[in-house]
Each structure stands twice: as structure tokens, then as C-alpha cells.
Structure 1
Amino acid sequence: MFPSICRRRLVFLIRQIPGDGTSLFQSIPDAIPLARSYSSTAVAGAPNSALCSAAATASYLVSCGFSTADAATLTTARNFRIRSPEKADAARALLRSYGFTDADIVRMARSYSMILNADPERIIRPKLDFFAALGFEPGKLATAPFVLARSLDKHIVPCIQFLRGIIASDDLIRLGFSRCPRALMVDPENNMRPAVEALRRCGLPDAAISKLLVIHMGVLMLSPDRIIQIFQDLKAIDMCVEDSRFLYCFRVMSSVKRETWLRKLALYKSLGLSEGEVIKAFKTQPTILLSADETIKKKVRFFVDELKLEISDIVERAVTLAYSMEKCILPRCAVLSVLMKEGKIQRDINLLPALLGSSRAFSARFVSRYADDVPDVVKAYEGKIKFEGFGYHS
């Protein structure tokens, strides 16, 4: 009886949230979440004597799919104990019934172990029902299990209500959440609202704010001072809010510290680029700031030393620096090398245009086209033939 009462109450709650009417409690998809901090109500303050031993807890965690090392970390370093295998099994069974996989549950418990001690019907189910009614995917919720520790009435519902006042549809709210699940952790009045107001004060129109939050909802976790600083830094490189690239540049800048931005700028300059070239590349492909320093150096050295490309040509096509070396560039180079050796393509082929583009386009042009005559291109594309240089290519 209690679950049915809970569901009726949740339908009422959802209908009270201003929105586009697209998320009514019709069918419950395979999606659900949890809450934030270690809620005292979630564990009902069980005395130590009522908890299992560290050894029993570790054994149980291993039986759930935890590695021995992870189980030891939770029971020793974090001093976690399950209340009983039966209660933990009940929590896991409930999560499975909402579409969470065993891998999802292990991931959730690794970062928020108290989910295994939470009351399934009283604490977890109402929140899972709420998120399911909104169409949130279990796999995305599993990346931010602390959301399930937050109060449904006092935190989760107000967050969705606030977002519905800014973002155009529930579909876009789900998309924004999927890209940054942690954004639902922050307080709507103390964090979300001040962040949005700072964006408005800096001149960003409401439509652009909505789009920015869908691109990176983590902006809501920034302080107003940090938001103002990002606007100032973008203005300093002549990036204005009317530029179609502004939101993507802002998204990247909001993901790194200002000190990191300055360090990356210095790093690219140390590799032979002028400041103007770095800024131009950043505007074209903002994600070049997100790679680790060693990864950046490794990529540039490879393109310059191994492929004999000019660094000015690389930054002219800055997307090159955003490609994965192991998953994209090296396998594609291996394919081209095989085709050169077999005489299927010229050794003086313009490399950058050949290497860039979607996987489908590259495969159609260089793999599928020659697979029957040169079977090794398939092996090269799968990483089974390593790239060892282009020989006479210059």
C-alpha cells in the first residue's frame, strides 16, 4: 500500500513543477537515481552492534562484484559496514528492478556505499519513481549516486523546478544532466540561481543560458566570481557573446582553473606557436585545453617529428589535436602506411585531410574500399598492425 501512496504523491509533485507537459507519469522507463550526502534518515542510525563485521562486509562486497582491493578500501579506509546481507540485497534488487545493471550498482556503491544500507521503500523508491517519471536513464544516475541521498521534497524537486524555468524542455534537461550528473548536487537557491544571475549580468541572453546549461550543466556549480572571470578572459581574446563559438569556449573555460588556461597557453607557445595561433586554435577547437600536458606534447611531437607536418598546419586544423592518438590517429596512420606500401595511394598524399573526418568516412575511403585487395588494412584499422612510419613520406 505504501508504494502506491508514494507514487500518487510523486505524480502530484511532478505536476506541480512548471514544464512543457512532456514528462507526466505515464510509463516508467529503465532509469532511476539516488541522493546526496550520507543521509542519517537513509540508514536510520543503526548502532554499531547492529552492523556486520568488517570481514563479513568485505566478503559481501566481493560477492557483489567488488574487487578485493575495493572492498578492503571501503571497509578499512572508509570504515563502511553493511547492516545485513538481506537488507543490502533488498536495496540492490530494487535498483535492478528500475533498470540498473550489476555494474551500475557496484559503481554507485563504490562512491556512495551507504546506498546498500538505505531503506529501499522509504528512501530509495520515491526518488527512483520521480526520476523514472522524468525519463532519466539509470546508467547516467549511476554516475552521481549522491543525488539519491538528497531530500526529494527539499532538494531534488526544487532543482528540477528551477531548471524548468530556464531550459526549454524536459528532454533538454535530461540531456544536460547526462553530460554532467553532478550538477543536480548543488543547491538551487544558493548555487544555481546566483550562477544564472551572474550569466545574465555579464550579458548572456536567456536563450543562450539555456543552451549553455544543456552543453554543460556544471556551469551551475561555479561561483559568480568565477563566471565573471571567465567572461573577462574570453573578452580579452576578442570572444564576444554573439559569436557562435562563445558557449563552447565558455564550457571549456568553466571546466579548468584559470591557472590551467594560462599554463596551457604557455605550453603551446613553448612548442613553437605564437600566442595568436594558440588563441585562434582555441576558438576553433576549445577542447585543446582539456588534454593533459604530456598528451599535448606527445601529439605535437608525433605530428612534427614522425609525420613531418608543420605545426602551423596542425593548428590551422586544430581539431587534429582533439583526436585520440591510440584510438584514432595511430590506427589511421597504420592503414595509410599499408596502402602506401601496396601502391594503392601515393606517398605524397596530403596527410591531414586524409587523417581527419569521421570514422565512417575514413573507413569508407580507405578501409572498406581496399579490404578485398589488401586485407591488412582491416587489421591495421583494428590495431593489429602497428604504425611504424611512412618510410619515404615527407
Structure 2
Amino acid sequence: MFAAICRRRLAFLCPQILPAAGGGGGAYHPQPNPHAALLLHTYSTTAVAGGDSSSEPCPDTVSYLVSCGLSPAVARQTAASTRTLRIRSTEKADAFRALLRSHGFSDADVARIVRSAPLLLTVDPDRVIRPKLEFFASMGFEPNKLVYSPLLLARSLDKHIVPCIQFLRGVIGDDDEIRRGFSRLPRALMVNIDNGMRPAVEALRRHGLSKGDISKVLVIQLGVLMLSPQRIGEIFEDLGTMGIGITDRRFANCLRAMCSLKRETWLRKVALYRSLGLSESEVFEAFKKQPTALLVADDTIRKKARFFREMLKLEMKDVMVNPVVVSYSLEKTILPRCAVLSVLVREGKIKPDIRFPNALIGSAKTFCEKYVNRHAADVPDVIDAYEGKIEFKGFGAHLV
């Protein structure tokens, strides 16, 4: 019933976006959305990083933000950072929160949206917000993905969101694939078609990608649409330097990772790994195997390199043979697994000639089945070790 209502309303609002019987389609007539335009203008002209020290935030506004789930400190910072935000009558704000909950948003989702886009509390939810939530629902998008890009709810449905979907249909084709791309990076739909999406797609074509290739790339990394043609050219150049051409099966995933980095950041990452003992070619080979290894923060890379060297007697050259390990969390994955292995070595359940980093590789389920569940009855300590209750202090004399 809900889906049918959505489709009827959307057929009236934007007939071209819904498939019509017999292949026909009505004309698309954009309508202005003054509420959204004002909201976006307010954000662009009044948001102040870190707050406005010259004025105190409205106490009523701070109090309301706290009722939304924000801590008092965060509520004050949020209210101070947006000078025009004043919540004295809570009718619209309450209706906005109720509308979100009726579309499946949790209290935590609502709090996150309020924190990142507090001015949404001041708009008319029925006129500005509801049509977009119904539109995304009719498309089969997961509404709570909007938590990561709530300002999409401030964009005009008729002048921006619908045309963006139409454009993506012309490039990607399949609505299921569009949904996949959206779920990975909702904020890509904030991009202007003429100034962002179209130039990016044309740049991909100029660098030799077919329509099918472009569709695959966008589904994997819709963020390509947020890049300038110049940056896209740099990425193709850097991938070519590494020997990754457009026919390489690893191309799409490597491109996906490169889109997350500025070029100076990429060059700095390569230099960092080289300072840890790898040659440039070894860095490139590691990137081809596990592109996310180059997305790890610099300080985290240094911290892990120090751990591998001091605690496991491994140099980064040895680690990067299996670079996925660098992508693992040190605290949540690597240390608990090392603690389990050290307990098993101590109890004689596994031989001390453990091959690192191979022993650390695999999903949580695989590791548990191999090392925790198999030995839990005889060595209960493995459970405590895996849960972080036994600190890993190295293998000492047990490791040869």
C-alpha cells in the first residue's frame, strides 16, 4: 500500500522517473523549491567551523538538540556553528523527527542527521522532506543511507534529484546498480550534473572506457562523479605508471581506491612505505593486491610497522607480501589474534614456528574456527585472549 501511494504521488510529481506502460513518459517540468534553496544558501553562508565565539548559542536550541540525542557539549557546538538556527517552537522539529522515524530511521540516525544538518529541523517536513523520502523509498533506496548525506533532503526533488537519477540511468542503466552505487556513497548525488557528473563521465570516455566499463566503475565508486576531469586524468596516469591498464581485472578496484586520495596524498603514501623499507615497485605490487592498504592513515601505518617489527620481528617488506594485514585494525583484529596464537603456543597446541603474517589473515569466522573454537574446551584462555581480556606481550622464547 505504501509503495503504491508513493508511486502515485511520484507519477504526478515527476512522471519521467517512473516507467510508463507502453514505454511512454510525460514531460518533465522542474518546479522551484524555495525552502531547499534557502536552506542550502544558509549553510553555505553562515556555517562557521568550530562555532562563532562572538555570540552565545540559543539556550532553547541547545536544550532541544540535547533532546534529540546530542550531548550538551556537542549540542552547544552545533547550535553555535549555525548562527541562524533558532528552535523556539518545536512543532516543525518534532514533526521532522517523527517523519524520519516513520521511514525507518533509528534514534541514533536522527541524532546524526540533526548534528550534521541541524537546519533541517526548521523546514516544513511535509513540503520539503516527505516528497524526497517517498521518492527514495519508491526507488528502493535504503532511506537510512541518507544519514551519511542528509543535505540531499534539502536539494530540489524536481530540479536536482530526479534529473540526477535520469542522468545515471543513461550512464549506468539498471536501477539495481544505481541503488548499489548510491548505498556506497550517497553524497555523490549532491553533485551538479552539468558542472560535475557530465564532465566526469566524458573524462572517463576520453581515457578509453566503454559505456559498460563506466557503468561498472560508477557502481563500485560513484565518487568518480565528484572528481574534476583533471584529477581523473592524474589517476589514469598514476595507474598507468603502476602498469594497471583499463583491461586489467584489478583496474576498477584500484581506481576506486585512488578516487579517495588527492594526488599529493598518494605520493606521500608511496614515500612513507618506501621509508619503511619497500621499493617503489613493491609498493605498487602491494597496492595492486590490496588497494585499501594505501588508504590507511600515515600514523596508523607507522604504528603497525613498529608493532610488526618489535613484536613479531617482521619488516614491512615481509608484511606487504600480504598487504591486507595492513588494512586490519591493530586493536580490534591484529592484537586479539596474536594473543590467541601466543596462548596456543604457550600451551603447546600449535607449533612455535608460526608463519606471519599468514597466520593473521582471514575473516573473523575463519580465524575463530581454526584457532578459537577448536581449542576452547582444552584451553579456555583462548576465548579471553580473543575478547581482549589477555594482553598480548609478545611470544618471547616461544617464537623461533
What is the TM-score when the length of structure 2 is the normalising length? 0.87
What residue is the counterpart of 1:368 in the other structure?
373
Q: Higher RCO, 1 or 2 (CA under 8 Å, sep at least 6)? A: 1
Q: Which residue of 2 aligns with 1:390?
A: 395
1:185 Cα deviation from its structure 2 partner: 0.3
Distance 1:20 1:214, change over 3 A: farther
Distance 1:36 1:276 in 2: 54
Letter in 2 for 1:8: R
CA–CA distance in structure 2, aligned partners of residues 10 and 38 of structure 1:
18
1:125 is the counterpart of 2:139? no
Q: How does 1:190-229 map to 2 (within 5 A)?
A: 190-229=195-234
Equivalent position to 2:61, from 57, 63, 85: 57
Cα distance in 2 for partners of 1:216, 1:263 equals 23
Q: Which amino acid in the other structure matches residue 58 of structure 1?
A: V
1:260-275 to 2 correspondence within 5 Å? Answer: 260-275=265-280
Match in the other structure for 2:72: 68
For 2:257, the aligned partner's letter is V
Count of aligned positions: 370
**What is the 5 A alignment of 1:62-211?**
62-79=66-83, 80-82=85-87, 84-211=89-216
1:260 and 1:269 map into 2 onto residues whose CA distance is 14
* 3-state SS, counterpart of residue 354 of structure 2: coil
Cα offsets for 1:213-271 (capped at 9, x unmatched): 11111110001111011111111221111111111111111111111111111111111
Aligned to 2:333: 328
For the 8 Å contact 1:99–1:138, the answer to whether it is kept is yes
Q: List aligned pairs for 1:210-359, cutoff 5 A.
A: 210-359=215-364
Matched letter for residue 260 of structure 1: T
For 2:329, give the aligned amino acid: S
Match of 2:37 among 11, 31, 39: 39
User: Does the aligned pair in 1 maintain the 2:289–2:323 contact within 8 Å?
Assistant: yes
TM-score (norm 1): 0.88
Aligned-pair identity in percent equals 60
**For the structure 1 residues 210 and 83, does the alpha-carbon distance in structure 2 shift closer, same or farther, using more than 3 Å as the test?**
farther
How far apart are 1:20 and its partner, in Å? 11
1:36 and 1:147 in contact (8 A); partners too: no
Cα distance in 1 between the residues matched to 2:59 and 2:354? 63
Q: CA deviation at 1:318?
A: 1.4
Q: Is the 8 A contact 1:37 1:150 kept in 2?
A: no
- Structure 1 residue 344, shift from structure 2 partner: 0.3
Task: Give a deviation string over 1:5-32, Cα, whole Å, max 9, x none.
Answer: 98634135565237799xxxxxxxxxxx
**Structure 1: which 5+ residue stretches go unaligned?**
22-34, 45-52
Aligned equivalents of 1:36 and 1:285: distance in 2? 46
Distance, in Å, in 2 between the alignment partners of 1:315 and 1:331 is 20
Contact 2:204 2:232 in 1 (8 A): yes
Look up the SS of the partner of 2:198 in the other structure. Answer: helix
Q: Which letter does structure 2 place at the counterpart of 1:181?
A: P
User: Aligned in 2, Cα 1:169/1:6: closer, same or farther, shift over 3 Å?
Assistant: closer
RMSD of the TM alignment (CA)? 2.4
The aligned amino acid for 2:303 is K
Letter in 2 for 1:351: F
**CA deviations over 1:54-86 (Å, ceiling 9, x no partner):** 111111111221111122123223222125112
* Matches of 1:76 and 1:355, distance apart in 2: 46
Query: Partner of 2:63: helix, strand, or coil?
Result: helix
Return the offset for 1:312. 2.7
In structure 2, give the amino acid aligned to 1:54.
C
* Alpha carbons of structure 1 residues 5 and 300: separation in structure 2 relative to 1, 3 Å: closer
